[in-house]
C-alpha cells in the first residue's frame, strides 16, 4: 500500500519543463555579427589599407568597404592605381569621413549628435561614394531641421548636388522667413551662384531695401580676386521697387549707383506694371483674409473692407456678388496704400455676378467697397497683377 507521501506525489503536478524560445532549426546571430564587424572600424586589427585624411592615418579593411560600396569596389579592386597601394590619400573632410566609415561598418549614424556643417559634408560623401540610403536620410533630416541659421548652407549644398527636393524645402522656408534669413550672419556665406538664384525668384518676398542692404553687406565681405564678378550681384536687386526716400537715403550714400542710374530708376518706377514684383505671381489673388463689413452714416452705407498682409502692386480687382441687387444701387471701389489717402477706382452698378475693375498698376494694401444696399451681398473681393493690362480698358475716376 502506497504511503500518504507517495499519494501526494502522484497528485502534485510535475513542474512544467522549460521550453527554450530559440528556434533549434535556425541560428540567428546577426546582432552579434554586427557588433563584431563594427568593432573593427578604424582598428589596426587585420586592416589591409590605410587612408590618409587631413594628415591622419585611418586603418580600414578592403573587403568590408568593397562589399558596402561600388565606389570602393572600383577603387580597391578595380585595377586602378590605388588597388596596389596600402596607403591612399583622400581629399575629404576628416570628421565626416569618419562618420561615414562608422556607418559602413555598423549601418548606423546619429545625425542629431552631428554639427550642421558635418552633416552637409557627410551628405556630399554619401553622394560621392554611393550611399543612397544615407543621402535620403540626411535630406529628410535637414528638411525637418531647416532654420535661418543653416538654410543658406543647405541651399548651397542643394544647388551644388542638384537636389531638387532639398532646394524646394529651402525655397519654401526662405519665402516664409525672408527677413530673418537676410539679417542672419550666415547670409554672407552664400555662394555667388546661390545668391543669384535666390534673388531671381519672384516669390522671395521681402522689402527691396532689406534685400539691398543684405546684398551690399554680402559684397563688402568679399575680399578675393573675384570682387569684379561679385559686383554683378547688384544687377539682381530690383531698385525700382524701392521708394524714392529709400533710393535717396539708403542706396545713394553707398555709391553703388551713379546719379544717372538713379534718375533712370525713378523714371522706371512710373511703369509699375512692367516691373518684376516680389511676392506676386501674375494672376494670383493676393487677398487672403475674409471681408470685414462695417456700417457708416447710421447704417445707411455698408462698407466691405479688405486689408492685405503687405502692400502689393496690383492692377485688377474683381468684386463677386452673392445675389442680384436693385438697379439703383451703386458700389464704389476705393484703394489706399496707407489707409489714409484713398483713390476711387470705379463706381459699379452690379450688372453681372462678377464685376472686374482694371486700372493702372499701383501699390495697394487697403481695398474698400461701399454700397447703400441694405444687404451684405458681396461674396468675395479678389486683387491681382494682370500682365496683359495694356489691352484692357482702364478705370480712371480719380487715378
DSSP 351-398: -SSEEEEEEEEEEEEEEEEEE--SS--EEEEEEE--TTGGGSPPP-S-
Q: Please give the residue that has the higher pLDDT: either 61 or 310.
A: 61
Tell me how far apart the alpha carbons of residues 359 and 314 are, in angstroms, rounded to a whole number.
9
Please give the grid coordinates belonging to residue 127: 553622394
pLDDT mean over 144-164: 97
Give strand ranges (E) for the chain.
49-53, 56-60, 87-89, 292-296, 301-321, 331-336, 342-348, 354-371, 378-384
Q: Cell numbers 561615414 correspond to what residue? A: 100
Among the ranges 9-23, 64-78, 332-346, 365-379, which has the highest mean pLDDT value? Answer: 64-78
Among 31-45, 146-160, 207-221, 224-238, the minimum mean pLDDT is found in 224-238
203 band by pLDDT with thresholds 50, 70 and 90:
confident
> Shortest CA distance to 291 belongs to which of 184, 366, 188, 215?
366
pLDDT exceeds cutoff 60 at 17: no
Q: Please give the residue that has the higher pLDDT: either 338 or 116.
A: 116
12 band by pLDDT with thresholds 50, 70 and 90:
low
Task: Return the pLDDT at 19.
Answer: 46
Tell me how far apart the alpha carbons of residues 201 and 175 are, in angstroms, rounded to a whole number.
10
pLDDT exceeds cutoff 80 at 9: no
Tell me how far apart the alpha carbons of residues 256 and 231 are, in angstroms, rounded to a whole number.
9
Percent of the chain whose predicted confidence (pLDDT) is above 90: 51
pTM of the entire predicted model: 0.72
Task: Return the pLDDT at 387.
Answer: 72
pLDDT mean over 189-195: 95
Domains of the chain: 35-145 (3.30.710.10), 292-391 (2.60.120.260)
pLDDT exceeds cutoff 90 at 4: no
pLDDT exceeds cutoff 60 at 393: no
> In this structure, are residues 397 and 350 in contact, taking their beta carbons and an 8 Å threshold?
no
Tell me how far apart the alpha carbons of residues 90 and 18 are, in angstroms, rounded to a whole number.
56
Tell me how far apart the alpha carbons of residues 181 and 173 are, in angstroms, rounded to a whole number.
9
Considering the chain, what is the average pLDDT of its residues? 85
276 band by pLDDT with thresholds 50, 70 and 90:
low
Helices (H), 221-256: 227-230, 244-246
pLDDT exceeds cutoff 50 at 18: no
pLDDT exceeds cutoff 70 at 67: yes
The CA radius of gyration of the chain, in Å to the nearest whole number, is 34
32 band by pLDDT with thresholds 50, 70 and 90:
confident
3-state secondary structure of 30: helix
Tens of pLDDT, residues 295-348:
776 656 778 899 988 788 889 999 988 766 556 678 899 999 888 889 999 988
Please give the grid coordinates belonging to residue 147: 532654420
> In this structure, are residues 251 and 212 in contact, taking their beta carbons and an 8 Å threshold?
yes
Distance of CA 52 to the CA centre of its chain: 37
Tell me how far apart the alpha carbons of residues 349 and 271 are, in angstroms, rounded to a whole number.
30
Tell me how far apart the alpha carbons of residues 48 and 46 are, in angstroms, rounded to a whole number.
6
Amino acid at each position: 500500500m502506497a504511503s500518504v507521501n507517495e499519494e501526494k506525489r502522484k497528485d502534485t503536478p510535475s513542474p512544467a519543463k522549460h521550453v527554450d524560445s530559440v528556434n533549434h532549426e535556425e541560428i540567428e546571430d546577426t546582432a552579434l555579427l554586427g557588433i563584431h564587424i563594427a568593432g573593427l572600424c578604424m582598428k589596426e586589427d587585420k586592416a589591409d589599407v590605410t587612408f590618409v585624411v587631413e594628415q591622419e592615418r585611418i586603418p580600414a579593411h578592403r573587403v568590408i568597404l568593397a562589399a558596402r560600396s561600388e565606389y570602393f569596389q572600383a577603387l580597391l579592386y578595380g585595377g586602378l592605381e590605388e588597388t596596389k597601394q596600402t596607403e591612399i590619400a583622400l581629399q575629404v573632410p576628416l570628421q565626416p569621413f569618419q562618420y561615414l566609415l562608422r556607418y559602413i561598418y555598423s549601418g548606423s549614424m546619429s545625425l542629431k549628435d552631428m554639427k550642421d556643417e558635418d552633416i552637409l559634408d557627410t551628405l556630399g560623401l554619401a553622394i560621392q561614394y554611393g550611399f543612397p540610403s544615407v543621402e535620403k536620410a540626411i535630406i529628410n533630416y535637414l528638411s525637418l531641421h531647416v532654420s535661418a541659421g543653416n538654410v543658406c548652407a543647405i541651399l548651397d549644398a542643394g544647388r551644388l548636388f542638384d537636389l531638387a527636393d532639398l532646394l524646394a524645402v529651402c525655397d519654401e522656408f526662405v519665402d516664409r522667413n525672408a527677413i530673418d534669413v537676410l539679417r542672419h550672419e550666415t547670409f554672407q556665406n552664400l555662394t555667388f551662384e546661390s545668391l543669384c538664384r535666390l534673388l531671381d525668384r519672384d516669390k522671395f518676398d521681402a522689402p527691396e531695401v532689406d534685400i539691398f542692404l543684405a546684398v551690399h553687406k554680402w559684397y563688402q565681405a568679399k575680399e578675393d580676386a573675384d570682387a569684379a564678378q561679385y559686383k554683378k550681384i547688384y544687377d539682381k536687386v530690383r531698385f525700382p521697387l524701392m521708394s524714392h526716400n529709400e533710393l535717396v537715403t539708403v542706396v545713394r550714400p553707398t555709391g553703388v549707383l551713379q546719379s544717372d542710374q538713379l534718375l533712370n530708376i525713378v523714371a522706371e518706377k512710373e511703369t509699375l506694371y512692367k516691373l518684376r514684383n516680389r511676392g506676386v505671381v501674375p494672376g494670383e489673388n493676393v487677398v487672403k483674409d475674409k471681408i470685414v463689413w462695417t456700417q457708416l452714416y447710421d447704417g445707411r452705407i455698408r462698407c466691405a473692407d479688405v486689408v492685405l498682409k503687405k502692400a502689393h502692386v496690383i492692377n485688377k480687382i474683381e468684386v463677386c456678388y452673392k445675389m442680384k441687387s436693385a438697379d439703383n444701387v451703386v458700389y464704389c471701389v476705393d484703394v489706399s496704400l496707407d489707409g489714409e489717402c484713398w483713390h476711387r477706382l470705379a463706381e459699379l452698378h452690379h450688372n453681372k455676378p462678377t464685376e472686374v475693375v482694371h486700372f493702372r498698376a499701383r501699390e495697394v494694401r487697403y481695398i474698400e467697397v461701399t454700397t447703400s444696399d441694405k444687404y451684405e451681398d458681396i461674396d468675395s473681393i479678389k486683387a491681382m497683377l494682370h500682365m496683359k493690362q495694356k489691352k484692357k480698358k482702364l478705370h480712371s475716376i480719380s487715378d
